[in-house]
Amino acid sequence: MSIQNNYNNIKNQLPSNVELVAVSKTHPVSAIQEVYDLGQKVFGENKVQELVEKHPLLPKDIQWHLIGHLQTNKVKYIAEFIDTIQSVDSEKLLNEINKEAGKHSRKIKVLLQVKIAEEDTKFGLEMNDAENLFQKFVDGEFLNVEITGLMGMSTFTEDKNQVKKEFEKLNVLFNNLNTIRPLQTLSMGMSDDFPIAIECGANSVRVGSAIFGRRDYSI
């Protein structure tokens, strides 16, 4: 299958209200340009170094999302141009993003990454910590960020019920926070599980290999 076929195939499976983040990590600039030329504007990368190298070589109207763990000392390299940071997993990181966004007189959109997987994952906020952080934001801290939603990754398993249970959990939190202050984005689902994620309320999916093909190394 060509990238074009893959892309059209994924787009055809997405309801019109669901945003597609094309995850281009490890893939060359030429492949990203190809997908851009098909009309895609939102791309996701998981490493600052790789993003910083690719960004100047590609069209300026691409909306870049950082989807991987972000170290506080690297925020400064992306603060000027990043559209959304989906992987905010600590208050320290949120503070740093707020500070760096301020230096560029801009507001950076962020998603709180919540730990929903049963497996022992390294990154992500506990449910109640995400709630507390969101409340601080609503109370007026972090004036240079906009928390626009939540992001979650399910357990890597064949067990669809397990995956569904985890996505549903995040959907409940999303709906709760949404009553405090309206949120736009519930980012759940990747190549293997995005249909389940959409069933469970996701309105943004992060799809990599189903568009670009397999990566040479897994991340």
Ligand X SMILES: *Cc1c(COP(=O)(O)O)cnc(C)c1O
C-alpha span between 148 and 111 (Å, rounded)? 6
For ligand X, the closer CB: 98 or 113? 113
Please provide residue 109's backbone torsions phi and psi, each rounded to the nearest 5 degrees: -75, 140
Q: What is the closest distance, in whole angstroms, from the C-beta atom of residue 89 to ligand X in the complex?
A: 11
Return the bridge partners of 115, or none: 153
Least distance from ligand X to the Cβ atom of residue 180, Å = 25
In the list 3, 22, 62, 67, the residue contacting ligand X (rule: CB under 6 A) is 67
Q: Which stretch binds ligand X (CB under 6 A): 54-62, 99-107, 135-143, 187-195?
A: 187-195
User: Using the rule CB under 6 A, is 74 a contact of ligand X?
Assistant: no
Q: Pull the structure tokens for residue 45.
A: 């990368």
Q: Does the protein bind ligand X through residue 198 (CB under 6 A)?
A: no
191 contacts ligand X (rule: CB under 6 A): yes
- Spatial neighbors of 198 by CB under 8 A, at least 6 apart, are 14, 15, 18, 189, 205
Q: Does 25 bind ligand X (CB under 6 A)?
A: yes
- CB closer to ligand X, 23 vs 88: 23
Q: Which of 68, 124, 149, 152 binds ligand X (CB under 6 A)?
A: 68
Q: Which residue in the set 190, 196, 197, 202 belongs to the binding site for ligand X (CB under 6 A)?
A: 190
Among 51, 97, 170, 207, binds ligand X (CB under 6 A): 207
Q: How many CA atoms lie within 13 A of 43 on its CB side?
A: 33
What are 121's two structure tokens? 């994952």
Give the C-alpha separation, 89 to 205, whole Å.
19
* Nearer to ligand X (CB atom), residue 13 or residue 144: 13
Q: Site size for ligand X, by CB under 6 A?
A: 15
- Considering the rule CB under 6 A, would residue 209 count as an interface residue with ligand X? yes
Interface residue with ligand X among 3, 20, 23, 88 (CB under 6 A) is 23
Torsion angles phi and psi, residue 114, rounded to 5: -110, 135
Asked if 157 is part of the footprint of ligand X (rule: CB under 6 A), the reply reads no
Radius of gyration of the chain (CA): 17
Q: Which amino acid is at 97?
A: I
156, two tokens: 């890597």
d(CA 148, CA 57): 28
The residues that touch ligand X, with contacts defined as CB under 6 A, are 23, 25, 46, 67-68, 153, 190-192, 206-210, 219
